[in-house]
Homo-oligomer: A and B are copies of this chain.
Amino acid sequence: MLYVSYDEAVRAMERGLLRYLPEKEARRFAEIFAGNSLDGVLSHGMNRYPRYLSDMEKGLCDPRVTRAERVSGFGALEVWDAHFGVGPLIADQMAGRAVELAGAHGVACVSLRNNSHWLRAGRYALAIADGGMVGICLTNTCMNLAAWGTLEPSTGNNPIAMGIPRSKGSLVMDMAVSQYAYGKLELMAQQGKMLDTPCGYDCEGRETCDPAQIIKSGRMMPMAMWKGSALSIMTDLIASSLSLGRTSRMIGATAAGEKGMSQVFIAVHPASVVDMQAVEAQMEETIAFLHSLPPHDGHSVRVPGENLAQIRARGLEQGIPVAEETWSQILSAGA
């Protein structure tokens, strides 16, 4: 692992992106890659940059499209089409649109079809929370997970993200339905690490803790067995139904060919109906209580997202961790 300064990381990635995108969009996209790593989400940050360039090269993502098109709407519900454009830029636009609509209606749902990979689900729930709203964001993905009851990759490791506005820093949960995110498996395989519990099958269908074997077989196991499987199937069908977008099945069976995801951005505006000071007071009481509990087995209770400001500050001071190989790919793409 190298440690690179945030500004240097953004500049380096911007250079490579300028081959595909106008200056402003290249800058914003580079900031998203670097920002996800800065937030500690190493599995969905700069490590994804080389693959994204290759997706644009191969036509899986169309860099000419950086804004979605509104295709229909009724009240606080809208459907947009990303036309296979630049995933995170378009998802940012949709999170903003959800906040805007919820400001007018109290609650809003924006559904999006044909988007490219949005990188990190939590970014959009956090954006909605930072806009003062409770956010719930869903996406489907290609069939990179064995549904419970079969060994075949047959459903997506679909993340669900939730955000809660909070004066001391919004809370955010970002959770794929496997025990470990696919990007986390890749990272652990790269580092030669083993998993705590078996989270997938090898090519012979045996449960394994080796992330490299799981990536090879394409057989991740859903978290909590049937529960993760159920959550994955529902997320896929909700995201594709609300947008009339592709199902996991239509997106395909391999991570390499993933094209055109369906995504949902829900925002709810509590400040329009309840006293936010009272809400925050009881929220802080819960957080303080969770912090007061005796730790167990080397862990202590964590509230999702509560350490984000600290993680960011540390990254800005000490630099962002990047795998050497990734960094050299970033530099050569920008050369």
Contact = CB atoms under 8 A, between A and B. Distances in A.
A72 interface: yes
Contact of A150 (B246, B274, B294): B294
Query: How many copies of this protein are present in the complex?
Result: 2
Interface stretch (A2-10, A235-243, A317-325): A235-243
Nearest to A154: B293
Nearest to A73: B273
Interface residues of A, number: 83
Given A73-B273, A273-B72, A154 B290 contact: yes
A157 interface: no
A155 interface: yes
Contacts of A274: 72, 79, 241-244
Interface stretch (A19-27, A39-47, A102-110, A186-194): A102-110
Contacts of A136: 136, 266
Interface of A: 72-79, 104-109, 111, 134, 136, 146-152, 154-155, 162, 164, 171, 173, 175, 179, 205, 223-231, 233-234, 236-238, 240-244, 246-250, 266, 268-270, 272-275, 278-279, 282-283, 285-286, 289-290, 293-296, 299-304
Contacts of A74: 105-106, 269, 272-273
A162 B227 contact: no
Nearest to A150: B293
Contact of A173 (B162, B234, B278): B234
B233 A303 contact: yes
Contacts of A249: 285-286, 289
A32 to B, nearest CB: 23
12 contacts: A72-B273, A76-B106, A77-B269, A105-B107, A106-B109, A109-B268, A111-B273, A223-B223, A223-B227, A224-B228, A230-B302, A241-B283
Nearest to A143: B289
Secondary structure call for the A interface: mixed
A67 B180 CA distance: 43
B151 A302 contact: no
A152 B294 contact: yes
A231 B273 contact: no
A286 B289 CA distance: 44
A241 B147 contact: no
Contacts of A150: 293-296, 299-301
Contacts of A162: 234, 238
A283 B240 contact: yes
Given A136-B136, A223-B227, A238-B164, A77 B154 contact: no
B296 A149 contact: yes
A250 B228 CA distance: 29
Contacts of A290: 147, 154-155, 233
